[in-house]
Structure 1
Amino acid sequence: MSFESLGLHEALIKAVADSGYDTATEVQSRAIPVAIEGRDLMVSASTGSGKTASFILPALQRILAARGDNTKRREKGVVYGPRVLVLTPTRELAIQVAKAADTYGRHVQGLRVATVVGGVPYPAQIKALRGPLDILISTPGRLLDHLQTGKAVLDNVDVLVLDEADRMLDMGFIDDIQTIADHLPKERQTVMFSATFAGHVGRLAQNLLRDPQRIDVASHTDTHVNIEQRLHWADNSTHKNALLDHILTERTMEQALVFTSTQRDADWLADRLADMGHAVASLHGGHPQGRRNRVLQGLRNKQLRVLVATDVAARGIDVPSISHVINYGLPMKAEDYVHRIGRTGRAGRNGLAVTLAERMDTGMIRRIQQFTTQNIPVATVAGLEPKSPEPKMFAPRPEGKFGGKPFARPGDAGKRFGKPFAPRRDNAFAPRDSAPFERRDASQGAPRNAFDRAPAKPGARPATKPGFKPQRPRQGGFGR
């Protein structure tokens, strides 16, 4: 479907044409007309499907319609705040959305776009919030700070967009989002983009949306036809490093995005590759925002050939020249694998996603294959074949209640190998940050496992250290 048939303003159609696009993607052709009508939306779309344009273009259309024939700004000296508010989980994604707003709004006279994220000094953000403003893109935590100090005015927001709502809720932003929504006018349009609308995301949608239109374009089980996936089994870390070095020296590699599980691994691996002569940098949530911006700009300008990053980069990086995604360290969650490999094969190009796994990663590989309902083809490199036998993997199965094959009998629920078991508890001690959750190093301190200590036998006296008197009776587990 062409953009001219979607009912867009001629200024927006011209900007889209200037960007080199003439045909709308599926999510754009289905979401834009409904969004222009002013209806609330619940949209599920895979990464790289053009979902950013599917909410930025209707938002710009709303701004043009509000101005009418008068292209002058609102009354001078009065703080009106933005007409459109976009909430994103990460700083990188916020910057990407702001870039899209500037690109598609290049022919909108006097368009004002501001970005409010963590890791950036407050004065410049306060100045942007007090001046004329059309679109505000922000992470929930920093916007809540400005709301509490009275610097942010949200009384005139016409459109609220929640981009990657599931990720924001995973990061613990549900209360922040609800608080921000309470400061917005009730008569507004709300658009939610999420990989899933189950659980907390569905309840949040029920609270914020009014009679929404549901659009499901893609799911995590879709086949990435333009992304070749490979799985290399490594005997140990030395073997894994040798496989990585071989992949990075291939002639077909234009730019590579290498994912690690921890911030420490990202810095260590970037230093190792730099010593080997690669143009490389690391990127993770521990870096200040200015450095992160410079690294991403260097990647776009092709000054960097390799970027080593944690999952903070899995969402929000849109660099078409990334030809290889390499999972050096596996993600914490199976769905993050889909977002990682979606960083390649963009803008109609072909990409390669390589996963380097050791035997201890077998469980996560199995969960990824169950989540995507697809096998990752196993490959080897001549001269670097693994000496250990390949771990036995099972065919992908539909996810059941506990993430695998559903129990055959109702009485078996809650049992494993015929014995009762308790489900794992969520990590209640993990700090909340504006960057996505990343796996913690052992040196950073890990919470004690609730299953480390068996419950005391009835009548047994709890063991105590000399000189320490227990403050309350011990009841097993953490001593609660």
Structure 2
Amino acid sequence: MYHMRRKREGYVVVFNPTLPFQSKIPNQTLIQHFNLSLSPSQRCYCWIHFAIMAGIAPEGSQFDALKFDSKMNELLAADGQDFFTSYDEVHESFDAMGLQENLLRGIYAYGFEKPSAIQQRGIVPFTKGLDVIQQAQSGTGKTATFCSGVLQQLDYSLVECQALVLAPTRELAQQIEKVMRALGDYLGVKVHACVGGTSVREDQRILSSGVHVVVGTPGRVFDMLRRNSLRADHIKMFVLDEADEMLSRGFKDQIYDIFQLLPPKIQVGVFSATMPPEALEITRKFMNKPVRILVKRDELTLEGIKQFHVNVEKEEWKLETLCDLYETLAITQSVIFVNTRRKVDWLTDKMRSRDHTVSATHGDMDQNTRDIIMREFRSGSSRVLITTDLLARGIDVQQVSLVINYDLPTQPENYLHRIGRSGRFGRKGVAINFVTKEDDRMLLDIQKFYNVVIEELPANVADLL
């Protein structure tokens, strides 16, 4: 199925489906290079056979992704003690973190009073210049953690890019820019978001005038570096936010290309709500003895968010169920998730035809339209938003207290990111899942994945909001 060829730079995995399987379980070097050497379809083929040979799944049986994920984490972490370091300090107040006074003013002005669990453990090691891997669920202040670390270390007398933050989507990049700007308001920080769908010339103009921090999507950032519009000479901090999403979107090569253009001695931070083996692998290539702050899968469920399901039997009955719930939706700000862009348009038309006021956003819309819709939703002038997983990561609309999964997510991991739109920073929230007979297995998988019980929706749902 594959074989290893020894080269000066290390082992190279060569895919060949006609070759016999050469060893029972690949050794550590092979595992580390495996994900980086094959296309997704090749990798899938190989992994299934690896699972069989490794005893994770008997031959002829259905591949168990969760068992495999666990096995890969175990194998990748085999020499983790030699690679990762631990950091046990906990700081229960922002004042105890040794932060600049003007940064503290920005933190308190933004509305933070007490640091969240990830902030208590994660801000200080980043301010000390350590490489950091941090995993925490949505809504826990992960963005503010790395923003605080970056802002603490900037030399504000030098108006050059000193920190580069990559995010998988334009919306998330712009949200990070907003948080960075707000927390650094009293420091005079200059931040710019380099994202696709905006003017290249305007990016070049702003970058040439000088900024301290650039936040952006991999494609546009690489373009600015390649054109030398973004100069990397003074960059000393490199942050990957939602690393798992960037890898799943196929940004790995662009991330590698960007990293190669950065100075050799650079602090790296990797932040994500989930940390699959491929994301852990990328840390081994970029980082130097990083501090590792991970949470277990059974700790990922969002406390304070009540989760329910509605049995709708058939797909056709979902619309009527949603319309029945509309009065409840309009009480608060709500997000409705579906799985395709086409379905966003279909559901929006159906709801409007019944005189229900809704707004919608998805990736096929132009950037300006999406910005306007999100601005209206954040301001509260629109209260019900229909969208895809585009919005499911990192978009902080703090007034949202209800999420409806009109379609269950196709992957259990995305459930966390979706329902994390409600109950931000300890506020109470409700998640309602529409479940057809075909969805029973996915609902079961989600409950097993997060070790939760999702109960049937009670009649008094409005009282829960």
Relative to the length of structure 2, the TM-score reads 0.76
Question: Over aligned residue pairs, what C-alpha RMSD do you find?
Answer: 1.8
In 1, Cα distance between the equivalents of 2:399 and 2:355?
20
Determine which of 96, 101, 104 is the counterpart of 1:5: 96
Matched residue, 1:463: none
Change (3 A) 1:270 1:198: closer
Matched residue, 1:369: 447
- Percent identity between the two aligned chains: 34
Which deviates more from structure 2 when the two are superposed, residues 307-316 or residues 223-232? 223-232
Displacement of 1:58 in angstroms is 1.4
1:34 and 2:34 equivalent?
no
Matched residue, 2:292: 214
Deviations 1:248-273 (CA, angstroms, capped at 9, x unpaired):
21278301100011101101111222
Matched residue, 1:393: none
Displacement of 1:280 in angstroms is 1.4
| Aligned-partner SS, 2:204 | helix
Kindly tell me the number of residue pairs found equivalent between the two proteins.
Answer: 369
Alignment-mate amino acid for residue 357 of structure 2: A
In 1, Cα distance between the equivalents of 2:310 and 2:341?
23
Matched residue, 2:304: 226
Matched residue, 2:421: 343
Matched residue, 1:236: 314
Matched residue, 1:250: 328
Alignment-mate amino acid for residue 259 of structure 1: F
Displacement of 1:120 in angstroms is 1.4
Alignment-mate amino acid for residue 102 of structure 1: R
Change (3 A) 1:220 1:286: farther
Displacement of 1:35 in angstroms is 0.9
1:185 and 2:263 equivalent?
yes
Matched residue, 1:97: 176
Displacement of 1:380 in angstroms is 6.2
Alignment-mate amino acid for residue 365 of structure 1: L
Query: Structure 1 runs of 4+ off > 4 angstroms?
Result: none
Matched residue, 2:114: 23
In 2, Cα distance between the equivalents of 1:278 and 1:241?
12
Change (3 A) 1:147 1:251: closer
Matched residue, 1:433: none
Alignment of 1:176-325 (within 5 A): 176-217=254-295, 219=297, 221-250=299-328, 253-325=331-403
1:45/1:51 contact within 8 Å kept: yes
1:44/1:218 contact within 8 Å kept: no
Q: Whose Rg is larger?
A: 1
| Aligned-partner SS, 2:229 | coil
Change (3 A) 1:28 1:265: same
2:173/2:193 contact within 8 Å kept: yes
In 2, Cα distance between the equivalents of 1:250 and 1:53?
32
Alignment of 1:460-471 (within 5 A): none
Change (3 A) 1:136 1:251: closer
Matched residue, 2:163: 84
Matched residue, 1:426: none
1:55 and 2:146 equivalent?
yes
Change (3 A) 1:182 1:365: same
In 2, Cα distance between the equivalents of 1:280 and 1:189?
44
Matched residue, 2:405: 327
In 2, Cα distance between the equivalents of 1:220 and 1:59?
30
2:136/2:300 contact within 8 Å kept: no
| Aligned-partner SS, 2:133 | strand
Displacement of 1:234 in angstroms is 0.8
2:138/2:394 contact within 8 Å kept: no
Determine which of 210, 219, 224 is the counterpart of 1:141: 219
Change (3 A) 1:117 1:251: closer
Change (3 A) 1:244 1:289: same
Matched residue, 1:415: none
1:147/1:153 contact within 8 Å kept: yes
Displacement of 1:127 in angstroms is 1.2
Alignment-mate amino acid for residue 340 of structure 2: T
| Aligned-partner SS, 1:11 | helix
In 2, Cα distance between the equivalents of 1:22 and 1:331?
34
In 1, Cα distance between the equivalents of 2:280 and 2:174?
27
Change (3 A) 1:119 1:220: farther
Displacement of 1:102 in angstroms is 0.9
Deviations 1:174-202 (CA, angstroms, capped at 9, x unpaired):
11101100011111110101234442211
Relative to the length of structure 1, the TM-score reads 0.74
Alignment-mate amino acid for residue 175 of structure 2: Q
In 2, Cα distance between the equivalents of 1:147 and 1:15?
30
Change (3 A) 1:218 1:2: farther
Alignment-mate amino acid for residue 53 of structure 1: A
Change (3 A) 1:308 1:156: same
Alignment-mate amino acid for residue 240 of structure 1: K
Displacement of 1:317 in angstroms is 1.8
Change (3 A) 1:149 1:50: same
Displacement of 1:274 in angstroms is 2.0
1:44/1:219 contact within 8 Å kept: no
In 2, Cα distance between the equivalents of 1:54 and 1:10?
17
Alignment-mate amino acid for residue 276 of structure 1: R
Change (3 A) 1:316 1:223: closer
Q: Flag structure 2 segments of 5+ consecutive residues without an equivalent.
A: 1-91, 461-465
Deviations 1:387-411 (CA, angstroms, capped at 9, x unpaired):
xxxxxxxxxxxxxxxxxxxxxxxxx
Alignment-mate amino acid for residue 363 of structure 1: R
Matched residue, 2:234: 156
1:11/1:108 contact within 8 Å kept: yes
| Aligned-partner SS, 1:32 | helix
